[in-house]
């Protein structure tokens, strides 16, 4: 089988100057724990090493699910994601796991409107529940693994696209590529993917 992990990718669209390159991560929509009935994500770096994971949760109604936990490769908690069950816009809230029993509110993600229109998937408000402009806008079609994450000024910070084993062979919807601008937090973008998966 072809390898699913990425290599560092150069892409002119992502390079404000010739010195910068994008970093490619492979996202596999598969829990690293292969128990029946589980769901999750495994994220690999350019050397093919497991870097982040979301393990062992079932696809229940969001009122029943509780929180989703993003961890590093050995299971150390990094971020937790919780559905806002009374929200009409399918809102998710993320917290940084500072210490055991201590969390810091990181962001809120929500659909732009109750009836989604156009190519806009979600908007993200850092450290607040909304009001004012969104800090990040996610556009495209997440189900087809084809979308971009833009900052407040409209600059592209990350791209999600199908993963190719060769120029003509696509690996399928469960394996896709995350391309990041230099300086963009991988943990943050992976948490966006987990929340988008539930919203979409």
**For 55-77, what is each residue's pLDDT tens digit?**
865 555 555 556 888 999 998 88
Q: Is 84:65 a contact under the CB 8 Å cutoff?
A: no
Sorted by where each starts, the structural domains of the chain and their CATH numbers stand as 21-110+163-199 (2.40.160)
Q: What percent of the chain has pLDDT over 90?
A: 42
The answer to which of 5-14, 112-121, 174-183 has the lowest mean pLDDT is 5-14
**For 158-181, what is each residue's pLDDT tens digit?**
999 999 888 788 888 889 999 999
Tell me the whole-structure pTM to 2 decimals.
0.80
3-state SS class at 37: coil
Q: Is 112:127 a contact under the CB 8 Å cutoff?
A: no
Q: Is 149:156 a contact under the CB 8 Å cutoff?
A: yes
Q: Is 11:23 a contact under the CB 8 Å cutoff?
A: no
3-state SS class at 164: strand
């Amino acid at each position: 089988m072809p390898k699913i992990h990425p290599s560092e990718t150069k892409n002119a669209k992502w390079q404000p100057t010739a010195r910068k390159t994008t970093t490619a991560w492979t996202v596999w929509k598969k829990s690293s724990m292969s128990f029946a009935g589980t769901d999750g994500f495994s994220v690999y770096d350019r050397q093919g090493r497991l870097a982040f994971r979301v393990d062992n949760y079932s696809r229940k109604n969001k009122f029943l699910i509780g929180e989703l936990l993003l961890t590093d490769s050995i299971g150390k908690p990094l971020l937790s994601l919780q559905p806002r069950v009374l929200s009409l816009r399918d809102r998710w809230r993320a917290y940084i796991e500072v210490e055991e029993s201590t969390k810091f509110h990181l962001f809120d993600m929500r659909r732009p409107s109750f009836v989604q229109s156009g190519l806009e998937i979600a908007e993200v408000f850092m450290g607040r529940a909304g009001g004012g402009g969104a800090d990040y806008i996610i556009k495209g079609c997440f189900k087809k693994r084809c979308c971009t994450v833009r900052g407040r000024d409209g600059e592209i910070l990350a791209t999600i696209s199908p993963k190719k084993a060769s120029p003509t062979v696509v690996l399928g919807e469960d394996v896709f590529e995350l391309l990041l601008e230099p300086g963009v937090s991988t943990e943050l973008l992976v948490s966006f993917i987990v929340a988008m998966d539930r919203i979409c």
